[in-house]
Chains A and B, each alone.
Chain A
Amino acid sequence: MSESTSQSVTEPKKGGHGAPAVPHGAEGDHAGHGHGHAEGQAHLAHHFDTYQQQFDAGKLGIWLFLLTEVLFFSGLFCAYTIYRGMHPEIFVYAHYYLNTQMGAINTCVLLISSLTAAWAVRNAQLAQRGLLMLNIVITIACACTFMVVKYFEYAHKFNDGLLPGPNFHPTEQVWELESFKHKHPEAAEYAEHLAKVAEERSKQKTPAAGVAAPAEPSAFERPTEEQIEPLIKAGVIGPQAENQAAISRPRNAHVFFSIYFCMTGLHGIHVVGGIIVWLWLLKRAAKNEFGPKYFGPIDYAALYWHLVDLIWIYLFPLLYLIH
């Protein structure tokens, strides 16, 4: 660019007289659109000797950036690991509130966008402008789909009071959730029974303190493993027999949602950043800027995009598929 502009400046001077504006304008146009012989060096920054050097430098740069990203996210993964190690019941409890289907859809959407991003690199290398633009558009569309699904998930959680910290007030108990009932129908029934008994007991306490607890219905007198096990694992009732009449949610369950929102939120920010980068590259691809010698930006953006995908590959089973 700088070369051609200096040419366009010097040319009128050589010509000396006449209409300097015309060649100047023409030259400017020429360089801007990048055809003709000027194109050979159009995207080679002046501080690089060759396209290969420019490409390699950029590639090293993006890999170093990805390195920091991996370490950046690892802090959150560490928080997750430690908290899950200490309180597995909270994770079992909270995962019933997550929609596995939506998570799976998002996984597939991101994987498809990863394919189109990798394909876009190939298109850029082969100077296939139309296909390149198409693949970038599909990548952006998938990224937007991901964010829309995320929006619905988040909205659902806000609505149900599944917020981190002191704002955690779930509107539904875990045993009332469809996901829980579907997986452990007997346990859900038993939990409902326990909750009813507890409610009655608290009602009776106020009028007459010394009244004995009502006899439990025979069906629940000796709860089976099927009925108890899922509840203990979710921390809803205590592991000891004397604690099993009381039913509640595990302590500090809200911490799961702190971790959940931090991890998926940070990942979501990366997706939004990726969308912006892809939009910018779409604009540049439309100008036909990319070809066999200059496809670095597409390659780097794709590498970044694959890393975002990579992080989701781990987030999905860790958050949604807890057993």
Chain B
Amino acid sequence: MANDDKPDTSAEPLQPKSQQGPSEEIPPDSKHDATAPKPALEPTEQDEGDEDDSEAVSEISSPKAGHGDDPVAHAPPGALGVEPAAAAHGDHGLAHTMPIWMLVAVLGALMLLTVLTVSVTNYDLGSEGNLVVGMVIATIKAALVVTFFMHLLWDKKFHLILFLTAVLFVVLFLSMSITDRGEYQTNIDRYQNTVAAPAAK
């Protein structure tokens, strides 16, 4: 989509860009090449191509934010035909856009893992084993959701750090509590073996 966006973002910067585009060996119509949009974008305002996507776009698009609404008008026509390839690495001004095939693939993986986690309960892997398998599958599913559906993979790294901080504190919280609870296990065992015959009704 970036290929579609750029030429008509505004009337003024159009000229230098369309001249630069071919000189960078990237013909504007090479939409099958997923990496094409990037080089076409960056030589205009930025030299390093390996920077974080969203960072790069933020620098590029912010000065132009005020310019007209051409992308709005232009996006729908190209929407169905061209996008999946171009949008894989494309950006729409403010943030990364997920290609449809990726969304559907992630859903498929999540569904498969759901089926797996349900069917694995039919097998006895020991009392802890089933819990561990269940949690591992749940964590893989959570990672898929966070990485792709919540597009943390393309998002600012700071948001990833924020999220991992929350996870870290949850892990600390739970592990401390579990360790502390383990201290009382002998008391519980004694109680269960003597006082608490479950017969009491």
Q: Interface residues, chain A, CB within 8 Å of chain B?
A: 39-41, 44, 50-53, 55-56, 59-60, 63-64, 66-67, 70-71, 74, 77-78, 81-82, 85-86, 88, 100, 104, 107-108, 111-112, 114-115, 117-119, 121-122, 125-128, 233, 235-240, 243, 246-251, 291-293, 295-296, 299, 302-303, 306-307, 309-310, 313-314, 316-318, 321-323
Interface centre among B72, B137, B188 (most CB of A within 10 A): B72
Q: Which residues of A contact B137 (CB under 8 A)?
A: 317
Tell me the bound Cα distance from A74 to B170 in angstroms.
Answer: 6
Pick from A64, A104, A118, A237: contact of B98, CB below 8 A.
A118
B146: min CB distance to chain A, Å: 7
Q: Which residues of A contact B200 (CB under 8 A)?
A: 248, 251
Q: Is A52's CB under 8 angstroms from B61's CB? A: yes
Contacts A100-B118, A125-B95 given; does A317 touch B135 at CB 8 Å: yes
Tell me the bound Cα distance from A82 to B1 in angstroms.
Answer: 51
Q: Which residues of A contact B93 (CB under 8 A)?
A: 51-52, 292-293
Chain B residues with a Cβ closer than 8 Å to the other chain, count: 78
How many A-B contacts if CB must be within 8 Å? Answer: 215
Interface centre among B75, B159, B200 (most CB of A within 10 A): B159
Q: From residue 60 to 115 of chain B, which have CB atoms closer than 8 A to chain A?
A: 61-63, 65-69, 71-72, 75-76, 79, 83, 92-95, 97-98, 100, 103-104, 106-107, 110-111, 114
Q: Which residues of A contact B134 (CB under 8 A)?
A: 317-318, 321
Tell me the bound Cα distance from A52 to B91 in angstroms.
Answer: 13
**B169-196 CB contact bits vs A (8 Å, 1 = yes)?**
1100110011001101000100011001
Additional A-B contact list (13), CB under 8 Å, known A55-B95, A74-B173, A100-B118: A52-B58, A52-B65, A63-B159, A71-B166, A82-B181, A88-B127, A114-B145, A122-B98, A238-B199, A243-B197, A248-B198, A248-B201, A250-B198
Q: Which residues of B contact A251 (CB under 8 A)?
A: 196, 198, 200
B178: min CB distance to chain A, Å: 6
Q: Is A115's CB under 8 angstroms from B114's CB? A: no
Q: Chain B: which residue is nearest A305 at the CB level?
A: B149
Q: Is A40's CB under 8 angstroms from B69's CB? A: yes
Tell me the bound Cα distance from A114 to B147 in angstroms.
Answer: 13
Q: Chain A: which residue is nearest B117 at the CB level?
A: A317
Tell me the bound Cα distance from A316 to B134 in angstroms.
Answer: 10
Interface centre among B66, B156, B193, B197 (most CB of A within 10 A): B197
Tell me the bound Cα distance from A293 to B197 in angstroms.
Answer: 66
* CB<8 Å pairs between A and B, sample of 25: A50-B66, A59-B155, A63-B159, A63-B162, A67-B162, A74-B170, A86-B184, A111-B114, A112-B107, A114-B145, A115-B104, A118-B103, A118-B148, A126-B83, A126-B92, A235-B198, A238-B198, A246-B197, A248-B200, A291-B71, A293-B93, A293-B94, A306-B145, A316-B138, A323-B124
Q: Which residues of A contact B63 (CB under 8 A)?
A: 50
Q: Is A53's CB under 8 angstroms from B62's CB? A: yes
Q: Which residues of A contact B92 (CB under 8 A)?
A: 125-126, 292
Q: Which residues of A contact B151 (CB under 8 A)?
A: 118
Q: Is B103's CB under 8 angstroms from A115's CB? A: yes
